[in-house]
Amino acid sequence: MKDWFGLVARLVTGGVWIVAGALKLPHPDESVRAVRAYDLLPEAIVPAVGHLLPVLEVVIGLCLVLGVVVRGTSVVSALLFVAFIIGIASAWARGMSIDCGCFGGGGEIPDAAAKYPGEIARDVGLLALSLWLVVRPASRLALENVLFPTSTTDDTDDDIPDDEGSLHGAEEDLAQDR
């Protein structure tokens, strides 16, 4: 069951990253404007962050959806969500009214502060899914399972109950916990 939840966590989080990055890629000027609007980074690095962030988001999303380098990608995903939560909370605390720029756009907009709680809640949920994948990166339908198999057992025997007390079941449990 845990590895099915991991699949859902990978697909949801990865899908959000792909959509967020893909919507920003054709409009790098908007992405730079969104980063600048938070007024948190030195101006010298704002253009680089604004241009590189959408690419990073798409790469993270693809790795998660495909199930490659899941633990490492999930660490980066979690760190980005923490940064985004801090950024939105900071804008809210400073009385700023800016579009989060999460899915394109960015900059000052009226009544943006009303959206901050929902944006923070969304990012907290995605952070939780990312942290799950840091702790339990193994999941169903992951390319890692094909590239780096951890067990020589055939997955077709999942429906056959293991003998109680057998080492075979314990070995599978240990492999799944890795």
Mean pLDDT of 131-144: 95
- pLDDT tens across 52-102, in order? 999 999 999 999 999 999 999 999 999 999 999 999 999 999 999 999 999
CA distances from 152 to 2, 71, 145, 155, 175 (A): 20, 22, 11, 9, 11
- pLDDT tens across 7-52, in order? 999 999 999 999 999 999 999 999 999 999 999 999 999 999 999 9
Q: What is the pLDDT of residue 160?
A: 39
- pLDDT tens across 90-112, in order? 999 999 999 999 999 888 898 89
Confidence of residue 163 (pLDDT cuts 50, 70, 90): very low
Look up residue 54 and give its two tokens: 């959408």
Q: What is the pLDDT of residue 174?
A: 46
SS3 for the chain is CHHHHHHHHHHHHHHHHHHHHHHHCCCHHHHHHHHHHCCCCCCCCHHHHHHHHHHHHHHHHHHHHHCCCHHHHHHHHHHHHHHHHHHHHHHHHCCCCEECCECECCEECCCHHHHHHHHHHHHHHHHHHHHHHHHCCCCCCCHHHHHCCCCCCCHHHHHCCCCCCCHHHHHHHHHHHC
Decide if pLDDT at 173 tops 60: no
pTM for this prediction:
0.82
